[in-house]
Structure 1
């Protein structure tokens, strides 16, 4: 009896401390990648000393559930040039911050290009100097990742009641390739799978799919650094301008320094505060109390 009680208390503690639930987005093989035979893997031995996920063939969302959900939810798409997913810095760390604000987070593992070694970052780095070639390699995967994002939004909306969520307060945010995915989702969506607000962080505009600006009010929050090594700062300005011209609520933060991929990493400069600015923006839009 005592052992059962201890197990129950331990489970209850886990449930109330960033409780996690991994959810498959599809039954069986995902359409478009039925012949993929490789297995998802994780690597921490890379030049950035950060945890990355690669060879995603079975897309999932991992639900991070706060102790007291406020009804708002955000799907978080890590970046990695559609080859890897920076799962902590641009995924789980973001989810935990959102949880502290009462926001339910869903970290998305979307389909990416097949890596041939156990060091996917080392494989990727030489490709970053030729975006034309990289875009060509990614061309077959970006639509699949976009479908994963759209499916994730629909799943959260369809199951909003189960998670104590408001189906009209579902956001989608992403970093780098995840920002590209964010914009592809909102531009390609229908009513059932369109997010209510979006936040592309240092997005890459050239690979975005679709161009259908939402007719419904869809606030956007954008952040990027001027010294982005990949030159993505103008991409964020272009996205902002399109949103502004469409008379959609839009906010753009451009930091003097921070480089590419700052995410939740703390470096003692102004980009450290972008997430707090995002929180203030969520509050202004009525998604936080």
Structure 2
């Protein structure tokens, strides 16, 4: 009976550590006619994928009060704007941030509709034709960018409830989430731009927006040399852009890890990115 009580207590604690909030009061602007339902795919154990996301939401993971340092991150999972790698590049990152006193807000942004229950089968041919993929994704990238800006707006408006400093809100993302990170930074008005960013193995050509931040905006950039999609030059170009603008930036190119390493343990050098990221956080959050 005692063990049952402990299990129930643990479940109760877990249920209160997350809050789900819709980003818009009604239908999201621009996708009012979308009537399909979000679906979940268990691609591999412990790494769920969401697809057909039509109603953008944020999953809020507040840092424990005894650890909270006032900082927050919007976390954007990747998936080529067709799926969301919600665990490896979202919730697992949020929990890691919580352990370090940082509140995390995982964003489920709008993605392209899948015409079957096998989004990977639809996506794979497009990954060999980025020009066509970009054409398909372009309208959704704009919508997702609005979702990202809306998430920052929510965080700032609810800073007291979230126990965060409205001037210490970062944005990070993986692959398409990295593209979204940069699109939000370059598209948002100055008062809604993130205060620091961490785009991981981003895809540069799909980034929208051109307005650089006025405030000093530190960047942590990461990618693997053996990225199967060839995204290394995009991270290098971003670092060069930050270097030319005299903005603080760290570029970490890991020898092995492939594309989409996220929080997956692959026994490659990319496994160390969270250690590097933690050291960077200690510097910028002093």
Q: TM class by shorter-chain length?
A: over 0.9
* Map 1:176-195 → 2, pairs under 5 A: 176-195=175-194
Query: Does the CA-based 8 Å contact 1:176-1:201 persist in structure 2?
Result: yes
CA drift at 1:12: 9.0
Q: From 36, 49, 64, give the equivalent of 1:52.
A: 49
3-state SS, counterpart of residue 139 of structure 1: helix
The whole-number CA distance in structure 2 between the counterparts of 1:78 and 1:18 is 22
Deviation per CA, 1:117-156: give whole Å up to 9, x if none.
Answer: 1121122111100000000000111000000000001100
Q: Which runs of 4 or more aligned residues in structure 1 lie more than 2 Å from their structure 2 counterparts after TM superposition?
A: 9-18
Structure 1 residues 10, 268: closer, same or farther in 2, change over 3 A? same
Structure 1 residues 124, 234: closer, same or farther in 2, change over 3 A? same
3-state SS, counterpart of residue 206 of structure 1: coil
The whole-number CA distance in structure 2 between the counterparts of 1:168 and 1:49 is 34
Q: Does residue 127 of the first structure (1) align with residue 126 of the second (2)?
A: yes
| Structure 1 unaligned blocks of 5 or more | 1-5
Q: TM-score, normalised by structure 1?
A: 0.92
Q: TM-score, normalised by structure 2?
A: 0.93
Query: Does the CA-based 8 Å contact 2:69-2:164 persist in structure 1?
Result: yes
Match of 1:224 in 2: 223
**C-alpha RMSD of matched pairs (Å):** 2.0
Match of 1:241 in 2: 240
The whole-number CA distance in structure 2 between the counterparts of 1:210 and 1:136 is 17
Structure 1 residues 166, 15: closer, same or farther in 2, change over 3 A? farther
Query: Does the CA-based 8 Å contact 2:48-2:86 persist in structure 1?
Result: yes
| Structure 2 unaligned blocks of 5 or more | none
3-state SS, counterpart of residue 62 of structure 1: strand
Query: Does the CA-based 8 Å contact 1:77-1:90 persist in structure 2?
Result: yes
Query: How many pairs are equivalent?
Result: 280
Deviation per CA, 1:185-215: give whole Å up to 9, x if none.
Answer: 0001113321100000000000000121111
CA drift at 1:11: 6.8
Structure 1 residues 45, 219: closer, same or farther in 2, change over 3 A? closer
Query: Does the CA-based 8 Å contact 1:213-1:246 persist in structure 2?
Result: no
The whole-number CA distance in structure 2 between the counterparts of 1:45 and 1:171 is 29
Query: Does the CA-based 8 Å contact 1:17-1:67 persist in structure 2?
Result: no
3-state SS, counterpart of residue 205 of structure 1: coil
Query: Does the CA-based 8 Å contact 2:190-2:213 persist in structure 1?
Result: no
Match of 1:66 in 2: 63
Q: From 9, 33, 36, give the equivalent of 1:35.
A: 33
Query: Does the CA-based 8 Å contact 1:17-1:66 persist in structure 2?
Result: no
